[in-house]
Amino acid sequence: MVGSEVTGLPLLTILIALPLIAGAACLFVRAEAARWIALVTTLVELVISIYLWVQFDPNGAQWQFQEYVPLGGGFGWALGIDGIALVLIQLTAFLMPICIGASWRSIDRRVPEYMAAFLLMQALMFGVFAAQDLFLFYVFFEGGLIPMYLIIGIWGGAERIKASYKFFLYTFLGSVLMLIAMIYMAQTAGTTSIPKLMAYDFPVDAQKWLWLAFFASFAVKMPMWPVHTWLPDAHVQAPTAGSVILAGVLLKMGGYGFIRFSLPMFPDGSAMFVPLVFVLSGVAVVYTSLVALVQTDMKKLIAYSSVAHMAFVTFGLFALNRQGIEGAMMVMLGHGLVSGALFLCVGVVYDRLHTREIARYGGLSDNMPGYALLFMVFTMASVGLPGTSNFVGEFLSLIGTYHASTWAAIVATTGIILGAAYMLWLYWRIAFGTQRNADAAAMPDLSAREWWLLAPIALAVFWMGIYPESFLRPMRNDIGRLLTRVERVAPQGDSRPTPGKAREKLQLVGEEESHS
Amino acid sequence: MSRFAAILPELILSLGGTVLMLVAAFTGRRGSALVSWLAVALLLVGTAALVGAPSHAGPQFDGLISADLFASFGKAIMFPAAAVAIIAAHGWFEQDHEHSSEYAVLILFAAAGMSIMVSATSLISLYVGLELNSLASYVLASYRRSDERSAEAGLKYFVLGALASGILLYGISLLYGFTGTTNFAGIAAAFARGAPSLGLLFGLVFLLAGLAFKISAVPFHMWTPDVYEGAPTPVTAFFATAPKVAAVMLATRVCVDALAPATDAWRQIMIFAALASIFLGAIAAYGQTNIKRLLAYSSINNVGFVLIGLAGGGAVGASSVLFYLAVYVPMTLGAFLCVLWMRDSEGRPVEDIASLAGLSQTRPGFALAFAVFMFSLAGVPPFFGFWAKVVVFNSALKAGLFPFAVAGILGTVIGAYYYLRIVKVMYMDEPAAPYARVREPLQGLLILLSALVISPLGYLLIGPLQSLSDKAAGSMF
């Protein structure tokens, strides 16, 4: 069946094809026209994806808006979304116009190519979340490396070449093992359809290897300690909008991969490796938070904080219970917004002073009150203050982890404290204190364009924090279906109430002892 | 008469080639354009002649050759590739005092040799085809005889090629001695009679070693970088495509037809050669500054991936080899056509990778096409080269060769580095002196066409190409 139930239009194909066409058009026009083409396209994409959200029936079929065109060789143009993919598509569509806006003036070199790369990136990201064919997913997943490689390498900072290679080769290395696993899966199960594979039971012995192969890819993408080292480099060197999309969407592909592949397809494999994931996530939370604490570069600090936040996602996912998985999804959404916004905040001051050294700033709340306000909102959200998006996610994910293992929950919770430490200290050093540098003190407050970039994110952060149900509702049934696959193997935590021993019995035992 | 219908393409090429040789001899420099266009026409007619008897007539001449779909599949790739090699030479040799009329004739003879190679079902016709192709190739490598590098390339190719032929013949004589037949079916029957004797195994090893030289698989690859660098660029484009297809397909037919019962014996050799080619091709390319040398290592690397498919064995393995080759040829031809367009401001060819710097700003379309070929050769999706790799790894996994497949795929990551380096030079470096424009619209069209096939649009071809290569591979069983 091709097309949505309501309009008969193949909406997902349009969502993917439109930026491709617009991106190609950008290559043939001048800089100003390319900017407008990109902005209008991303806004239209946002409208289409909101329409998808409205049309999506949370109580309907698992897969909606399905499309299928066979291409031969067992490979097909198979698209379709469930609630999990839907919310991630919303996140992507929401961040893209903001990225284009953030690059409006700060990118003045080779603008048409830049806009084309971003639009290509957008098409591939939608493809990742909408793909229902194993290999189609891989094509989109890996294809995304090319535009990001170019974005970092062409428009990045001084060390951009090294960072772009590191980004590409690291993620490529992780993913090729997944490809081998995918070929094996297609051969064993006789299908490349993701929905069918999600219900297929692979032999337990094979699951172990398949899980490891997928883990190699998603752990790098996520990124998990110790394969996170590409991320700080990529973030620091990438232009602002590149960092936003990297932190906002690309990292979420790792988590999406776990939810879509590792958990439902290899439940036994997942259960087997829960301790591994918990240990790696625990190290990530503590270690990368401490590393973030000592950074002198703003972008690097936020990059390390991303690694720590992503560890909440892996904790939550591999708790294999409802709170954990819902929490992981909410952390992904919240972090996508908040870390994107924080990178934008860095970009705002970087555009003015061309440095990311924390020590060069100070007391910005005096001359940039609007900036200080929004920066504070996002700092608080990143810390996980109740009322903001990250609180919901982190809290749920911690509850889930607690059910699985109290020790893991204790380690994970230190991340909240450490997170508060490095974020609040960062905010204090930048916004408060005395104004040490005359040039930093002379910076003007946010322009109207910058308000338009940051204010919508702030609203979304509060919406998600105050009424998360809008985002949880479309995912609820899908997470329920996922749970039916993994519940059987979920770790039996040490936090369950243990049956108490009856008092009389104890006395009896005592009496017996005294008699004997 | 009907028995000649089965070899119509070969007849067209060899008779046409002979006539054109006379035309070339009498017209000399004046006739070079005429001869090369006629040669292109002959190759296209030869391709068209594949329809009908030549694609299904079966064994011919007492089993010397077989006119089947497998052979036709190879010819349908090789003849157009050879035609592109002729078109690529337009205006190339005229820069100096050579001319290209004999070039086109030599390509025709090489194509006739390749055509026999892919059809051969006997060790004798195998050798005749291989030598016909090789002799023409030796001359082609040294076609610019005033250029020292070209002469050196020809000599090196000849000496090492003669050595390889010797090894091959030794293997053939051993096989003949121990089986009493040169016919593939007979050899297969002899191998099927139980555990192969030591003599048979020696024959198998020498035969495969000789073939490994022709496909430039490690450890018999040493000639490749020197010959590819020294030979004139259109000749290199030719070497990297059509003769390589012929040699790989010949090796495929030998392995899955003649040596099918000894699969376990040759599989070890293929596994070693595949991994060694992938890793050496990837690592040795690191320090290269000459684009032709780099592409030479890239072709060694790619042969490794073909052998991964072949190591799977059986119809699936053969089919994956065919699929890979069908994708490999347009992407390699496209890359070499791009190299052909690298000319300095006075129109002289340049081969230095550094001269590509900033090409995306001076010649965006050219740079985009080149980048597409590079990403595709690296096997990065969404380009078509990726799907070819999926197909060969599919074959290896079907045969249960898991550690082998994992090792092979890790090789793609190492290889990706140097392909990325070309993209980096073109897109991220400051522009170098711009290239002169080449006024060859037909070559431009061919670059565009191969880029389109390699682009994600190529995925539309997966269905037909897969069923065709399955059928072609099935025709051997």
Among B381, B398, B462, select the one facing A71 at the smallest CB separation. Answer: B462
Q: Are residues A164 and B428, on separate chains, in Cβ contact within 8 Å?
A: yes
pLDDT digits (tens, 9 = 90+) for A410-444: 999 998 899 999 999 999 888 887 877 788 778 88
Which residue from A minimizes the CA distance to B426? A154
CA-to-CA distance for A169 and A226, rounded, in angstroms? 16
pLDDT of B370 over the 60 cut? yes
Which residue from B minimizes the CA distance to A177? B406
pLDDT class of B323 with cuts at 50, 70, 90: very high
pLDDT of A495 over the 80 cut? no
Find the helix or strand (DSSP H, E) in which A458 lies: helix A448-466
pLDDT digits (tens, 9 = 90+) for B135-187: 999 999 988 888 888 889 999 999 999 999 999 999 999 999 999 899 999 99
Q: Are residues A142 and B380, on separate chains, in Cβ contact within 8 Å?
A: yes
Q: Are residues B380 and A146, on separate chains, in Cβ contact within 8 Å?
A: yes
A contact residues 172-211, partner B, Cβ 8 Å cutoff: 172-173, 176-177, 179-180, 183-184, 186-187
Among B391, B406, B424, select the one facing A177 at the smallest CB separation. Answer: B406
Per-residue pLDDT, B126: 93
Which residue from B minimizes the CA distance to A124? B382
Terminal CA-CA length for chain B: 27
CA-to-CA distance for A77 and A75, rounded, in angstroms? 7
Range B102-110 average pLDDT:
92
Please list every residue in chain B whose beta carbon sits closer than 8 Å to the beta carbon of residue A173.
Answer: 410, 413
Q: Is B165 left (phi over 0), alpha (psi -120 to 50) or beta?
A: alpha
| Cα–Cα distances in angstroms (integers) from residue B11 to residues A15, B5, B380, in the given order | 54, 9, 41
Torsional sign, CA A218, A223, A225, A227: positive
Q: Residue A26: which of A146, A114, A129 has the closest Cα?
A: A114
* CA-derived radius of gyration, chain B: 21
pTM: 0.92
HSE at residue A57, side-chain half, CA atoms within 13 A, is 10
Q: Does B399 touch chain A (CB under 8 A)?
A: no
Closest approach of B280 to chain A, Cα-based (Å): 18
Q: Are residues A169 and B380, on separate chains, in Cβ contact within 8 Å?
A: no
Q: Does A69 touch chain B (CB under 8 A)?
A: no
pLDDT digits (tens, 9 = 90+) for A123-173: 999 999 999 999 999 999 999 899 999 999 999 888 889 999 999 998 999
Q: Residue A269: which of A198, A207, A197 has the closest Cα?
A: A207
Among B409, B424, B459, select the one facing A71 at the smallest CB separation. Answer: B459
User: What number of C-beta contacts closer than 8 Å exist between A and B?
Assistant: 97
More confident residue, B395 or B145: B395
CA-to-CA distance for A52 and B172, rounded, in angstroms? 67
Among B413, B462, B464, select the one facing A172 at the smallest CB separation. Answer: B413
Q: Are residues B386 and A72, on separate chains, in Cβ contact within 8 Å?
A: no
Cis status of the peptide bond prior to B54, with omega within 30 of 0: no
CA-to-CA distance for B91 and A385, rounded, in angstroms? 72
pLDDT digits (tens, 9 = 90+) for A447-462: 888 899 899 999 999 9
CA-to-CA distance for A16 and A273, rounded, in angstroms? 35
Q: Residue A235: which of A156, A288, A290 has the closest Cα?
A: A156
Q: Does A148 touch chain B (CB under 8 A)?
A: no
Per-residue pLDDT, B57: 81
Among A142, A154, A177, select the one facing B427 at the smallest CB separation. Answer: A154
Three-class DSSP category at A33: helix
Q: Does B22 touch chain A (CB under 8 A)?
A: no
Amino acid making up residue B54: P
Which residue from B minimizes the CA distance to A206? B402
Q: What is the ipTM of this complex?
A: 0.91
Burial of B439 (0-12, 13-18, 19+ CB in 10 A): exposed
Contact between B33 and B23 (Cβ < 8 Å): no
Closest approach of A184 to chain B, Cα-based (Å): 7
